[in-house]
Chain A
Amino acid sequence: MSEMNTEARRVDAVAEFVRTAAPPMTTAQRVEGLQALTFRLGQRRRAGRRSAWLALFAAGAAAVGAVVLWRGAHHPITADGDALAYRIEGGDIRDGGYVRSFGTGGPVLRFSEGTSMHLMPGARGRLGRVDAHGARFAIEEGEAEVKVTPRPGAHWLVDAGPFLITVRGTVFHASWDGATEKLDVAMTKGLVTVTGPVAEGAVAVRAGQRLTVNVRTKEVLLRELGDAGPAAAPIEAPAPGASVRVAPTAPAGATRARTVSAGPRMPDSSAGRSSGSWASALNAGDFDGILQDADRRGMDASLERTPASELAALADAARYRRRDDVARRALLAERARFPRSARARDAAFLLGRLEETSGGGVRALEWYDRYLQEAPLGAYASEALGRKMTATARVQGPRAAREVAATYLRRFPNGSYAASARGLLDVP
């Protein structure tokens, strides 16, 4: 018995010593291990693909060898399972794809086909889907430098706050400031398109251009890199297309515009639009031309007869040009004439924004509520709830907005109004 106790004591002593002497996995080991594993997994996928192709080749060679060879040469990436391999330097990836930085330089995500995403110091990001064609990465806060390697079929998406940047092959910096709700995209090379809650449709940003969007004030500025622009003045500029236009915002109705860089020729708005759709004119940035065309045709007639897409283009052009009266009428016409359409639902939100910017807080709240009722999962749901929260706080006081803030946080805990919502809930 005593011998057994002695043996047990020795074993316990050994176990205790080994448990305390063997250190846990260090952060560096974990990070480096993950990187190595990611590469191994990537290699396995590629090896699997090679094996699949070899098998295909062998079978095909017996039947139609030449055809199979051709396909092998021309379709290097086909299956969704061939997701790009990636590794992260200076950080790691946690649950939910959250990218965490270790050093002062900011983490860099490197993908096997050469694309890299560098989160600048202090920035936060999240890696979403990764497949054979690209990945989706969200900049939650701060700035990132994105270098996408051009290749056929590449499909990269970058979320920046409420905006979505669609990339093919390019180099650019994108930043999102949640506190001021400002997006900034500076293009070094290539082309991206940006969609979001302010600019309707996709805004094309080309090499040498900088797009700045202020969600709160609904200001959109597209200018050349290095052009400081009229920083102090609120600016609204036509975004799409290759040309760069800077238009200092003036009182409603003013349409003073300045073209600072020659790109593809802009439509001549002074002559009005005699041909082509308003929707295409909107994409070309010819807001003034749309409004002049509508005036020339007669605003009432335009509002009553134009098709839905044209009416939406008119409403957008009017909003961009701060012709709030025309914008309001066009949006109301959308709701009256096409009551069950998505445009009609969106119009409710946009009417709320119009009311809010013109000081009609109570009416804005009514429109936001209506939008949230009609489209609880709609494109502007986050924005509408966030605007409702801030409008409620302004109109009825912070305490009244707490319930909306709680709802917002429940639905959009990382939304662009999350910080404001938490601030409201912290109010004693």
Chain B
Amino acid sequence: MLAPARYCPDELAQVRPLTTDRHSVPLYAVPAGSRADLTDADLARALMGGQAWAPAAAWNRFAPTVYGIANRALGRETDAEDITQEVFYRLFARVHTLKEPAAFRSFVVSFAIRIVKWELRRRRVRRFVHLSDSGDVPDAPVAGDDAESRQVLRRFYGLLDQLAPRERLVFSLRHLESMTLEEVAGVMELSLSTVKRSLARAAARVSGWIDGDPDLMAFFEATARGKPGRPE
């Protein structure tokens, strides 16, 4: 017997084989649920139930979020694409560990953050063993609308690379993702006090570095005043 062609929230009871003894091939009536109504929990259940369409649906729904977190945390589009791939590749293998389908989004974000953290640690190890000429990977494309923005971002992320992975991620989640301290603590599985300490250290160091970089200082001061600056 064939499985229902797709998952229909709250309407599974209506999915019935329409085989009659006149038909040699079973037909199925698959009521069409509204895709807009598909909740995260429905999607999680479909994924856990092995629905063929669910991985693509999960990707379409959450990939932009994961990509955004990775891109802002790592500062390189190509890395963000790879990380997004990796997140979903591993996520689909581990989705059965999700206990609360309604918390699927949090599950995805936590998963993404864990993998971003691994990536940051991997980078740090690579710098220690000098797997790149400069100890980092500076030439990969970064986001930004224009050459100036890209240059500033490259320099900024060059500074961030000096932070420990945990501090960098805490800083990124708090300031770039606008998460609350409690949310940061939750997704990073840290205590609130650890998050506060890490964040304070990271913010002080970032501020200090900007202070020591006249170009960045000029740019961000100008930005803070509401008009874009230009490094001399």
Tell me the A residues contacting B by CB distance below 8 Å: 6-19, 21-25, 29-30, 33-34, 36-38, 40-41, 44, 83, 92-98, 126-131, 135-136, 138, 157, 159, 164, 166, 193, 195, 200-202, 309, 312, 342-343, 346, 377-379, 381-382, 411-414
Contact = CB atoms under 8 A, between A and B. Distances in A.
B214 to A, nearest CB: 13
Which 4 A-B pairs give the minimum distances between C-beta atoms? A128-B5, A97-B53, A130-B52, A95-B35
Interface in B23-77: 23-25, 27, 29-35, 38, 43, 52-53, 55-57, 59-61, 63-64, 67-68, 71-72, 75
B128 interface: no
A116 to B, nearest CB: 17
B215 interface: no
27 contacts: A9-B224, A10-B206, A11-B203, A14-B175, A22-B71, A25-B63, A30-B59, A33-B81, A34-B56, A38-B56, A40-B89, A95-B35, A95-B43, A95-B53, A127-B53, A129-B4, A129-B52, A193-B24, A195-B23, A309-B21, A312-B22, A346-B20, A346-B22, A377-B16, A378-B20, A379-B27, A413-B32
A6 B52 contact: no
A41 B60 CA distance: 16
Contacts of B52: 83, 97, 127-131, 135
A15 to B, nearest CB: 4
Interface of B: 2-7, 14, 16, 18-25, 27, 29-35, 38, 43, 52-53, 55-57, 59-61, 63-64, 67-68, 71-72, 75, 81, 84-85, 88-89, 92-93, 143-145, 149, 152-153, 156, 175-176, 203-204, 206-207, 210-211, 219-221, 223-224
Contacts of B56: 34, 38, 92-94, 97
Contacts of A24: 64, 67-68
Contacts of B81: 29, 33
Given A11-B207, A41-B55, A94 B60 contact: yes
B223 A13 contact: yes
Contacts of A41: 55, 89, 92
B6 A128 contact: yes
Contact of A13 (B2, B38, B220): B220
A4 B32 CA distance: 56
B75 to A, nearest CB: 8
A412 B14 CA distance: 11
Contacts of B25: 157, 164, 166, 193, 195, 202
A129 B3 contact: yes
A9 B144 CA distance: 21
B220 A94 contact: no
Among B14, B22, B63, B64, the most chain A Cβ lie within 10 Å of the Cβ of B22
A10 B210 contact: yes
Contacts of B57: 93-97
